[in-house]
Amino acid sequence: MGSWCRSRVLFVAWSSGPARRRARRGAEHGRRTIGGPPLLEVERVTKQFGGLTALDDVSFVVRQGEVTGLIGPNGAGKTTLFNVVSGFVPPTRGRVAFQGGTVTGLPPHAIARRGLARTFQIVRPFPGLSVHENLAVGA
């Protein structure tokens, strides 16, 4: 199950276990959503770097029980979207909500405290911590 938005990125969501069974029941009743209540809501997010529009009116919802993939060619805006969602970069327009609460404008550590954390493409472990401690930081 996927959906296009106006940016050049594609969101793909799928579910397993209880969420998949709920989805099947939902399908029988003509509902199109899968998974449970919304966890992450991205509403009409635009990010401009000067004259470059990296994200153009991006909206999607990730629901409890879903696994969502974000795919797109180099430069499509995937990393920028992760940066906006996790608070590393403020959006030019739009809103991000986690578990029903707006997180737009909060610093990354405040968003992480609410339970929304990210990892980085380039792995940079803390040399002074053990492997277990490094994993715990990203968990």
Ligand X SMILES: Nc1ncnc2c1ncn2[C@@H]1O[C@H](COP(=O)(O)OP(=O)(O)O)[C@@H](O)[C@H]1O
Binding site for ligand X (CB under 6 A): 49, 52, 54, 72, 74-80
From 5-13, 78-86, 87-95, 101-109, span contacting Mg ion (CB under 5 A): 78-86
Please report whether residue 79 would count as binding Mg ion according to CB under 5 A: yes
Q: Which is nearer to ligand X, 54 or 96 (CB)?
A: 54
d(CA 98, CA 117): 11
Q: Could you give the strand order of the β-sheet that contains 93-98, starting from the edge strand earlier in sequence?
A: 52-63, 38-49, 93-98, 101-102
Q: Kindly determine how many residues on this chain lie close enough to bind Mg ion according to the rule CB under 5 A.
A: 2
- Cα-atom radius of gyration of the chain, to the nearest Å? 16
11 bridge partner residues: 3, 70
C-alpha span between 105 and 130 (Å, rounded): 33
Q: Using CB under 5 A, which of the segments 51-59, 76-84, 98-106, 129-137 binds Mg ion?
A: 76-84
**Least distance in Å: CB of 123 to Mg ion?**
14
Least CB distance to Mg ion at residue 75 (A) = 8
- Between 59 and 79, CB nearer to ligand X: 79
Residue recorded with tokens 């106006």: 6
The nearer residue to ligand X, 1 or 76, going by C-beta atoms, is 76
Residue 40, phi-psi category: left (phi > 0), alpha (psi -120 to 50), beta (remainder): beta
Interface positions with Mg ion (CB under 5 A)? 78-79
